[in-house]
Amino acid sequence: MRMQLNGSMIVVAVAAAVVGAAISRSLAQDAAQTSRPNARPERIGARPNFSGIWQANNEAHWDLQAHAARPGAVTQPGVYPFEYARVAAAPVVALGAAAGVPASLGVVQGDGDIPYTPEALAIRKANAENWIDRDPELKCYLPGIPRAMYMPYPFEITQSTNEIHVAYAFANTARTIHLDEVDPPPAETWMGHSVGRWDGDTLVIDVSHFNDKTWFDRAGNFHSDALHLTERFMLLTPDVIQYEVTIEDPKVFARPWRIAMPIYRRMEPNMQLLEYRCTEFAEEFLYGHVRKEPLVTRWEGETMVVEITRKVPPGDRFYEWLRK
């Protein structure tokens, strides 16, 4: 009798343990889902929901193509006559490791090369050599697409049934992805004209009407006003977007080419999009040469002194008018 009772108690205890474990696991899963920052329903009606704050986590911002790490964003020849033995140049030498460029496996698909025409490749090389003077990002101009998608700043997607709004932290940039028929813009734009459609669960966006003033990265990769993009957004999980772009520009590239990368949801509690109004940070860079009395002429640190002489851009009519 005692053995039967003990056996029954063991069965009851085991069953209780199993039920308890199942309940605990269910509660834990529910708690994880309800407490997850930025939790969103996975679909809006029949469509995936891309709403949330997102950010890329790669090195495409510096260079879309695979590249080795280098000591500075601006370099000059060092002691040895090898490309990899270059050293940081005067504009960034005092920044030390902060000016370095991290290595990357690249995001260009296929063979990893960007198929420039010979003439455009020469421009790209000149851009790279004069990056600190030419890159539109340093002047706080609108970054364009696709560059805005993988800059090291978050962006927020707000999705409705007929429009998707994307707000970027950098320079208060924004764009609207139209899901119904709309008229094109009257002129070329920095961020392009985005018209979307659904291919199953994939959001496909046709982007056109660009000007020729934006770059793809800090390495001097550029385009013309004939740029045409086909973007694809695929929600791999509620917190990961697979982002792909096919790039066409017959004035610059010999054939279409493609980049791809994952983009991740920002998971911090109470995450929100904060402004990065960089215009005021770039004022001296942009307009310092028009001051009657130069403001920034010298920087002196503990180990070095940097003297600064401003050059007037050729044909700067505002400067010429101001000096009269």
The model's confidence at residue 27, banded by pLDDT at 50, 70 and 90, is very low
Tell me how far apart the 2 most distant CA atoms of the chain are, in Å. Answer: 113
Query: Does the pLDDT at position 41 exceed 60?
Result: no
Residue type, 121: L
Q: CA Rg, the chain, in Å?
A: 26
pLDDT in tens, 69-119: 988 888 888 888 766 678 888 888 888 888 889 999 999 999 999 999 999
Calpha distance 314→27 (Å, rounded): 68
Calpha distance 43→8 (Å, rounded): 48
Domain-located, residue 14: no
Domain-located, residue 251: yes
Do 183 and 250 lie in a common domain? Answer: yes
What token pair was written down for 8? 């029954």
31 or 317, greater pLDDT = 317
Do 231 and 319 lie in a common domain? Answer: no
Do 177 and 316 lie in a common domain? Answer: no
Provide the Cα torsion 72, 76, 81, 83; round to 10°.
40
pLDDT in tens, 43-52: 888 899 999 9
Residue whose C-alpha is closest to residue 191's, from 136, 223, 247, 148: 148
Query: Does the pLDDT at position 222 exceed 90?
Result: yes
Calpha distance 9→265 (Å, rounded): 49
DSSP output for 207-251: EE-B-S--BSSTT--B--TT-EEEEEEEEEETTEEEEEEEEE-TT
318 or 258, greater pLDDT = 258
Do 233 and 249 lie in a common domain? Answer: yes
Domains in the chain: how many in total? 3
Residue with tokens 């400067």: 319
Angle at CA 188, nearest 5°, toward 169 and 146?
40
Residue whose C-alpha is closest to residue 238's, from 285, 274, 201: 201
Query: Does the pLDDT at position 225 exceed 90?
Result: yes
Q: What is the mean pLDDT of residues 187-204?
A: 96
- Cis preceding-peptide flag for 146 (omega within 30 of 0): yes
pLDDT (0 to 100) of residue 25: 46
Q: Which domain holds residue 315?
A: 289-323
Q: Residue 261 in contact with residue 107, Cβ under 8 Å?
A: yes
Do 115 and 150 lie in a common domain? Answer: yes
Strand bridging mode 202-208 / 228-237:
antiparallel
